[in-house]
Structure 1
């Protein structure tokens, strides 16, 4: 007995291939869709696997000593078919045939371009309203039943990719649930992909960097824990504002606990030829604002502190309240992208009790997982203003670009 498998786009195609090799006397034992394998399996078209059997040609006997009875022939055929069925069952449990994925993987090597292309193509389609989160069980069951195998594969890949990028599971489940809601029978995966892309970009919202059009003076206050890069970030922004933007900038620091930080800022200010002052009291802060009332921006560095140091927290808050009483203020919470998610949430909540703020994420070059940006944005609702990706002043800072981050979170380069 010869038993072999053949694969084709249709059952007829696979069967014809079998007939070409084994002849017209084959018996089709099993027909099944092939299991798709590989990271990009949902891009493949469905293949059909046909298992066929062919009985070996009998040797011609020299002498036929015993004639075969009709019942014997029938029983023999039954035994042959039963044996073939057992063999076919065993073969079905064997490892599925793997196809070469190199062409697909090469095509999708840079998912960023694919995302952008599909987003633009599907923009009108995905603009239709998404159903509310609360739906009855019957509707949800019906929708899940209608989701195509391709979409289910995409949802699984989406889930794994976002989790790998350290997006919190709560937000990942929200996104995958919404994919199921908008998926319809027959729609290609790129519809779901474009929808997720658009939704995540919208959830990040528009970046809110320092407004260059507003008239001064304005206080730009930088808060955050120790060691996240507040001082370097201030130097980068002061350089950007004073040199290419030609704005009048002064730099103040109320961080009298770290002499090195103050000296670092003093050095940068000297290079940029902008005023710098160390502030030791609220009265000195008020006097500095009066002295620099003709300036566009007053950049204020604050002391990083432990969340459990109530005395230092109250000290920083008193300076901020004094500034808010005499000048327009804007607060930036500076966070490191390398900090653990649980700690980021604790820090963000602690500063939320003090002030309203925008977000700056530093040390982006020191982590491959960018999910915490999405997590903190979703948790706080605060807009992301800037990201920094190195120590070089003033080069390693950029206005936050939601599209780039979302492409990265979805697996693009």
Structure 2
């Protein structure tokens, strides 16, 4: 067998060169990084190809096509990916064919309905090799994604390409993604890197551990919980207040008494909407126009276990409205502490989320709530915000239905959305 080497700025570029030189006759033996990216230096990768001597004349030394008949490089890449996909399909078909059809166990005297099929050792070995081959095909496919991806801030081993691609496409900050990827590379056992499924599972576990979550708790005897939702206009604060009120009133193990306070007197429609919910659920409700009225409103609802406060929606740049909310909090001279929940839609990009958080942070944010999870396909922005601010998530709103579409936040659900997409049944 003849050993040949090809180099390129990325593994996929080197693989393309090998493909154009030796065609399909060569066998990929090794991929390695021979020069790291540095100031003034491009990264350099090298792949090692093995090819039979008998194939060299028709492969490696094959004359090039005339220029007018050559296939563009982009089309060559598409052809390679098509061939890889066909190989994966054939591997899947082989796996189906290799299912045992006969009984090799010790149950020959049982009826056909109760037969227990046992695979022979040789068949198990064949299936194991097929699984490994399928994983290699998947790895090569992901290497081609790197060719059209943005330039990476840190070099990612090929076996990690799939989870890197999924995370980047989810909207996670590249800086945060590189940090998490380095943590994965440092702590993940080498044995686990041999299979893309175990790589992904380990990465999911690491993500779950770094997402802060505030577990739902109930009021202790003689105490009450006061929760204020703040955030930009149109994020669904009023609907979320209604969902929380219904949850605490009807869906918990104990039916708690709930009262509502409305600071959003700027929007008559929002006040009327919340009053309608209050009438339906038979809840007490108070409106506050000026900050000095805030304490009186809380005192009038002191018989309640939960007091939920709806605030006026505000642009992150409208400091006057944010200041008005701050004045209400500052005017609170009751014994009740207010838990401030910043409510944001999951459909905005990470940079906008961070700006919103910074502008509302003067209110003393305690937890985060994210709405409209059913209206986006990227959830890495949520991860990045919590990772950056270290503020825990308390609830997710996954639709418009009251109260069904409100779920207590879990790191498992967020990571599932990031890497596999939103699934309402797993909320």
TM-score range, shorter chain: 0.5 to 0.7
* 2:184 aligned partner: 179
Aligned CA-pair RMSD: 3.1
Number of the residue aligned with 2:88: 101
Q: 1:85 to 1:396 in 2, by over 3 A?
A: closer
Partner Cα separation in structure 1 for residue 273 and residue 189 of structure 2: 58
In structure 1, the residue matched to 2:244 is 237
Matched, 1:197 2:204: yes
Structure 2 match to 1:248: 257
- Cα–Cα, structure 1 residues 183 and 397, in superposed 2: closer, same or farther, change >3 Å? closer
Q: Secondary structure at the residue paired with 1:338?
A: coil
Partner secondary structure for residue 163 of structure 2? helix
Which deviates more from structure 2 when the two are superposed, residues 277-286 or residues 224-233? 277-286
Determine the C-alpha separation between the residues in 1 that align with 2:356 and 2:262.
21
Structure 1 counterpart SS, 2:378: coil
Q: Sort the Cα spacing of 1:309 and 1:184 in 2 relative to 1 into closer, same or farther, 3 A.
A: closer
CA distance in 1, matches of 2:277, 2:261: 12
Within a 5 Å distance, the mapping from 1:4-153 to structure 2 comes to 32-33=27-28, 50-51=51-52, 53=54, 85-90=56-61, 98=84, 100-102=87-89, 152-153=157-158
Correspondence for 1:318: 327
Gap runs ≥5 in structure 1:
1-29, 37-47, 54-83, 108-143
- Which has the higher mean CA deviation after the structures are superposed, 392-401 or 282-291? 282-291
Residue aligned with 2:297, SS: helix
Please list every run of at least 4 consecutive aligned residues from structure 1 whose deviation after the TM superposition is greater than 4 angstroms.
90-97, 103-107, 183-186, 212-215
Structure 2 match to 1:382: 391
| Alignment deviations for residues 29-59 of structure 1 (CA, whole Å, 9 cap, x no partner) | x8633699xxxxxxxxxxx975453xxxxxx
Q: What pairs up with 1:218-233 in 2 under 5 angstroms?
A: 218-233=225-240
**1:157-306 correspondence runs (5 A):** 157-183=162-188, 185-187=190-192, 188-189=194-195, 190-213=197-220, 215-245=222-252, 246-306=255-315
What's the offset of the Cα at 1:215? 4.5
1:309 to partner: Cα distance: 2.4
Report how far residue 295 of structure 1 moved. Answer: 1.2
Aligned residues of 1:217 and 1:328 also touching (Cα < 8 A): no
Given that residues 208 and 358 in structure 1 are in contact (C-alpha distance below 8 angstroms), is that contact kept between their aligned partners in structure 2? no
- 1:119 is aligned to none
TM superposition shift of 1:399 = 0.5
- Whole-angstrom CA distance in 1 between matches of 2:287 and 2:28: 73
The alignment of Structure 1 onto Structure 2 pairs a total of residues equal to: 303
Q: Distance in 1 between matches of 2:170 and 2:343?
A: 21
Question: Once the 2 structures are TM-superposed, how far is the Cα of residue 369 of structure 1 from its aligned partner?
Answer: 0.8
Distance 1:92-1:270 versus aligned 2 partners, 3 A rule: farther
Conserved 8 A contact 1:216-1:294 = no
C-alpha deviation, 1:324, in angstroms: 6.5
Contact 2:299/2:334 (8 A) holds in 1:
no
Relative to the length of structure 1, the TM-score reads 0.66
Contact persistence 1:254–1:303 (CA under 8 A): yes
User: Which residue in the other structure is 2:363 paired with?
Assistant: 354
Distance 2:180 2:249 in 1: 42
In 2, Cα distance between the equivalents of 1:351 and 1:295?
28
User: Could you say if the C-alpha distance between residues 384 and 52 of structure 1 is closer, same or farther in structure 2, counting changes exceeding 3 Å?
Assistant: same
Deviations 1:111-151 (A, max 9, x none): xxxxxxxxxxxxxxxxxxxxxxxxxxxxxxxxx9xx9xxx9
Change (3 A) 1:306 1:334: same
Distance in structure 1 (CA, Å) of the matches to 2:356 and 2:63:
55
Q: Which runs of 5+ in 2 are unaligned?
A: 1-24, 32-48, 65-75, 96-153
Please give the secondary structure, in 2, of the residue aligned with 1:294.
coil
Report if aligned partners of 1:230, 1:334 keep a CA contact under 8 Å in 2: yes
How far does residue 339 in structure 1 lie from its aligned partner after superposition? 1.7
Aligned to 1:25: none
Q: Is the 8 A contact 2:395 2:409 kept in 1?
A: yes
Distance 1:290 1:303, change over 3 A: same
Aligned to 1:337: 346
What is the Cα deviation at residue 214 of structure 1? 6.1
